[in-house]
Chains A and B, each alone.
Chain A
């Protein structure tokens, strides 16, 4: 969550590494610009490219280039920051970087063009527009890489809050500067969100997690009653089929257990309302509910555990080695009835 925090707590958004990247962009741009002065087949490469769209014969090319530049600077900054005011400053920054890049290019190529600084600048802003595009790319790269973090955080105004340690260190913490723990609370203060049902989000059907096998009747006799709410949690459409507060019967044999998740699963066709004796009840197999037949229902353990014979939950114990060691007299110092304490 982004929050406004005072500047003093912020991380540096433009440091040495960003400066190095910015310098690298300008050096690379300058190298490419000087390479554009090379001759290819007797023609100057920069002129060759620029003549593909003659400046003086293409109406409004200059205006179009300026508008494109401004739009690109603004758009890129907005994508990075998602804030309009930062996007507006991004346009200003972009234009500044673009002009700096242009001056750099002018300095490099004016000698090769055998013109004065001013004449070269006019040429670059006009007929020799390939350099102008070069300068624009350099400005865009500057926004995209070294300035990205600065723009993303709105020049450092929006930074993520980090968890803070308690301010005061325990006096006897020795080498550790940990905070003293507060006195234990007498009541639990659990503020944990309830596990969300996967079916709650619109068209997403609840599906069993990985490691799941298709159901097949197990050697477990009996029927358990499940509150209809459990069915609704997995298949909200069931609200049109079952009555409120109705108990739903499910044969234990159809349970596909996931003990590791304290959960069992059944499909819609294996549930049937109280009083019915056949899971494939006409109502459930009917046209209006047939599309639900293979939908999964997740049943948390709390709804069935007490109805299932306890023997089903017996697990074969594999006692660890340390439990098989013989008792020693020294351990009698620990009385399990009366604490050593006050």
Chain B
């Protein structure tokens, strides 16, 4: 859940990139890191295996907005996608204010996408949170590959809630910022409504 530091006039939000292994979560963060100017972002830290697989999580702090004189800092996290690391995924998910579910568009990986989305819901339910409760978006990644499923089919598999789904090619950066900014919009919208209703 977002936290407010009145002394420094900062609001800290946590955004988590979730999805199956090798779907491009880390690549999303790398692109954000690469394209944002250094005054808007901190250092990206990562714990990865020698094969460039995320072992624990990637972390990138960014400062992108201001609400009523408060700076809004977003901490971007990725989770390890491999089935083995569920405990880590659950831990990283704790206190998330928004989630990007990165789906791999390749035909052969549809089942992995569905299983990962189920896993996301299961891990959230461990914190008594539903996907209905916090902003989350779908990103259909790797759209540049030749063997990808059509968007409408991926929607039927993964998007029963009708949330925004963005087509992306994380390696080139297509759709990366669109995904991030759209999620930030929904997170900000939620924050402002909570401010106004006095529930913050």
Asked, given contacts A330-B192, A334-B185, whether A188 binds B171 with beta carbons under 8 Å apart, the answer is yes
The listed residue (A180, A189, A301, A328) touching B46 by CB distance below 8 A is: A180
A223-231, A233-241, A259-267 - the one binding chain B: A259-267
Asked, given contacts A178-B45, A328-B188, A328-B192, whether A320 binds B111 with beta carbons under 8 Å apart, the answer is no
Asked, given contacts A317-B162, A325-B193, A334-B65, whether A170 binds B114 with beta carbons under 8 Å apart, the answer is no
* Residues from chain B with Cβ under 8 Å of A166 in the complex: 47-48, 50
Kindly report which residue of chain B lies nearest to residue A260, judged by CB atoms.
B114
* Residues from chain B with Cβ under 8 Å of A341 in the complex: 35-37, 40, 177
A321 contacts B by Cβ under 8 Å: yes
Complex interface residues of chain A between 246 and 278 (CB less than 8 A to chain B): 259-263
A335 contacts B by Cβ under 8 Å: yes
Asked, given contacts A322-B134, A330-B65, A333-B66, whether A184 binds B46 with beta carbons under 8 Å apart, the answer is no
A6-14, A128-136, A308-316 - the one binding chain B: A308-316
Give CA–CA (A319, B132) in the complex, Å.
Answer: 8
Which of A183, A262, A318 has the most chain B CB within a 10 Å cutoff?
A262
Kindly report which residue of chain B lies nearest to residue A335, judged by CB atoms.
B181
B15 contacts A by Cβ under 8 Å: no
Give CA–CA (A186, B133) in the complex, Å.
Answer: 36
* Residues from chain A with Cβ under 8 Å of B111 in the complex: 195, 261-263
- Give the Cβ gap from A175 to chain B, nearest Cβ, in Å: 10
Q: Are A314 and B135 in contact (CB under 8 A)?
A: no
Q: Looking at chain A's contact residues, is the secondary structure mostly helix, strand, loop, or mixed?
A: loop
Give CA–CA (A318, B67) in the complex, Å.
Answer: 30
Q: Are B156 and A313 in contact (CB under 8 A)?
A: yes
The listed residue (B108, B162, B171) touching A319 by CB distance below 8 A is: B162
B167 contacts A by Cβ under 8 Å: no
Give CA–CA (A37, B133) in the complex, Å.
Answer: 75
Kindly report which residue of chain B lies nearest to residue A328, judged by CB atoms.
B192
Q: Are A300 and B45 in contact (CB under 8 A)?
A: no
Q: Are A323 and B163 in contact (CB under 8 A)?
A: yes
Complex interface residues of chain B between 128 and 181 (CB less than 8 A to chain A): 131-135, 142, 145, 147, 149-150, 152-153, 155-157, 159-163, 171, 177-178, 181
Q: Are B192 and A342 in contact (CB under 8 A)?
A: no
- Give the Cβ gap from B190 to chain A, nearest Cβ, in Å: 6
Complex interface residues of chain B between 6 and 43 (CB less than 8 A to chain A): 21-22, 26-27, 30-31, 33-37, 40, 42-43
Q: Are B47 and A165 in contact (CB under 8 A)?
A: yes
A190 contacts B by Cβ under 8 Å: yes
Asked, given contacts A333-B64, A333-B65, whether A262 binds B45 with beta carbons under 8 Å apart, the answer is no
* Residues from chain B with Cβ under 8 Å of A263 in the complex: 111
* Residues from chain A with Cβ under 8 Å of B135 in the complex: 322
Q: Are A339 and B185 in contact (CB under 8 A)?
A: no
A40 contacts B by Cβ under 8 Å: no
Q: Are A318 and B161 in contact (CB under 8 A)?
A: yes
- Give the Cβ gap from B100 to chain A, nearest Cβ, in Å: 14
A185 contacts B by Cβ under 8 Å: yes
The listed residue (B31, B47, B65) touching A178 by CB distance below 8 A is: B47
Give CA–CA (A318, B162) in the complex, Å.
Answer: 7
Asked, given contacts A163-B49, A306-B150, A310-B152, whether A181 binds B26 with beta carbons under 8 Å apart, the answer is yes
Chain A residues proximal to chain B, CB less than 8 Å: 163-166, 170-173, 176, 178-190, 192, 194-195, 259-263, 300-302, 305-306, 310, 313-323, 325-328, 330-331, 333-336, 339-342
In the assembled complex, 10 residue pairs joining A and B whose CB atoms fall closer than 8 Å, in A order, are A166-B48, A179-B46, A179-B47, A187-B171, A305-B153, A318-B161, A322-B190, A325-B189, A330-B188, A341-B35
Chain B residues proximal to chain A, CB less than 8 Å: 21-22, 26-27, 30-31, 33-37, 40, 42-50, 52, 55-56, 58-59, 64-68, 107-108, 110-111, 114, 118, 131-135, 142, 145, 147, 149-150, 152-153, 155-157, 159-163, 171, 177-178, 181-182, 184-186, 188-190, 192-193
